[in-house]
Structure formats: structure tokens, C-alpha cells
Homo-oligomer: A and B are copies of this chain.
Amino acid sequence: MTVRQAAHVLELLEYFARRRRPATLSEVAQDLGWPRSSTFNLLGTLAERGYLYEPRARDGYYPTPRLLALAQSIAEAEPLPEALTTLLRELVGETGETAAIAASAGTSAVFIEVCESLKPVRYFAQAGLRMPIHITSCGRAILSQYRPPERAAVLRRVTYERFGPSTPMSAAEVEAEIRHSLERGWFQNLAEFSQDLCGVSLPLPLAGRQLALVVAGPISRMQDRIPALAARMRRGLERALPAGG
């Protein structure tokens, strides 16, 4: 079950992040397609808690910096090492493709840090992007770090839907692909999830966290250089995290 009004809060914040200026009740209602009365209640609730204010009289509401303080406090607590974000930038520079760090969320993989390629045709992604954990290179790189029973539990809850000809359709197939990848030394995904998308990933254990490093881009540019990319990523990881893994 999805909690509608919780989702609406996020939608509203995203709306302001796009808009970047105050919005009146009517504007919000119109742009987000909500009834005016509901919008009234929602804005009122956020304002009541000190998350919205009026920069100018009668010119609409805008979020207070309170949200920023909140987010900063949250983000500072589980920081990624500087060296890793540097590595992402390096990889984008050298490979020309989008690089990211991924973690799990239920049966999904989520990007928690992204550095986008600058090419006109590229993998468009941002922090928070979710994808099925079992049919992405980074998802399987994460799963490979789980203990067998934990991994089995996740794979049991996954829904096996066909996105393309190579999409694995059972827990066994995913397990096999993970075994194969571990032997090979890297994880990959050739259009299993999205038609033109190819990803290369490495497991990234960090202070007990099961993360993954991933480079992804259009299949046409990626296909022929997967081993080279994987080697480059491994070298980068070894330099960034000398502790080894």
C-alpha cells in the first residue's frame, strides 16, 4: 500500500526544487493537479511545521532552509569517502560514461551517488534512482555480498518480469549469473532491464555496507570495452580504498 499524502509531500518538494521560486496555492493545485482544498491542507500542514514560509507578502509559499538543515544532518552521518566521489569523476572523465555508487532498498538497487556523463547521448540518472535489484549489474554486485540465506530471501520476494530477451526469470538464473560474474571478476548487464542500456559493476564493501560501483551507458559504446572498463574500475577502487576489500 502506498501512502498517498506521504508521496504528495515528496512531490511538492520536488516541485519546488524544479520551480525554484515561490508558488501560490492555486499554482500548486494547478501544476500538480490537486484539488484546491487538498492543496490548502497540505501547504497548511507543512507551513505549520515550519517547512514553508512566504518570502514576499501574498506571493506564495516556498520551503524554509529547515529542510536543508535536516538533509545535511542526515547526510553527514553516513558519508562516502571523498576518494570515492573523486573516483566517480575520474571514471566519467576517462570513460565518458555515467558512473555511480549503488546500494539496496528491498528488492531494488538505488543510486546513492551519481556522476553523470557529459555526452549528449548518455545514461541519465540521479541520486535516488531505483531499479530492480536482480536484473542490473550493480544490483547483482550488491547481492553477491549477501549471505546465501539473505540473498535467497530477497530473490524470493522479487517479481520476475521480462524486460528483454536476456532478462533472467528465476532465482536460480540470477544465482548462476552471480556465480559466473564472481569467477569472471566483474558484473555486467546487457539490455536486461532497459533496451539500450549496458552496465558494468564491481562489489564495493565499505565499513560493513554492501555497495556497488557501476559505470553505465548506451550499449553501442559499452559493448566492446567491458573487460577494459572493469579493469579500470578495479584499479580505481584499489587506489581509492587501499584497505582492500
Contacts and interface: CB of A to CB of B under 8 A. Distances in A.
Interface in A34-69: 41-42, 44-58, 61-69
Given A3-B5, A69-B127, A127-B64, A55 B78 contact: yes
A70 B103 contact: no
A155 to B, nearest CB: 13
Nearest to A59: B208
A42 B150 contact: no
Interface residues of A, number: 72
A146 B58 CA distance: 10
A51 to B, nearest CB: 6
Query: How many copies of this chain are found per oligomer?
Result: 2
Contacts of A243: none
A2 B45 contact: yes
Interface string A1-32: 11111111110011011101100000000000
Given A1-B44, A2-B48, A53-B110, A10 B9 contact: yes
Contacts of A63: 71, 74
Contacts of A71: 63, 67-68, 70-72
A50 B209 contact: no
A129 interface: yes
Given A57-B150, A64-B127, A66-B126, 5 more contacts: A2-B41, A13-B70, A13-B74, A54-B103, A56-B210
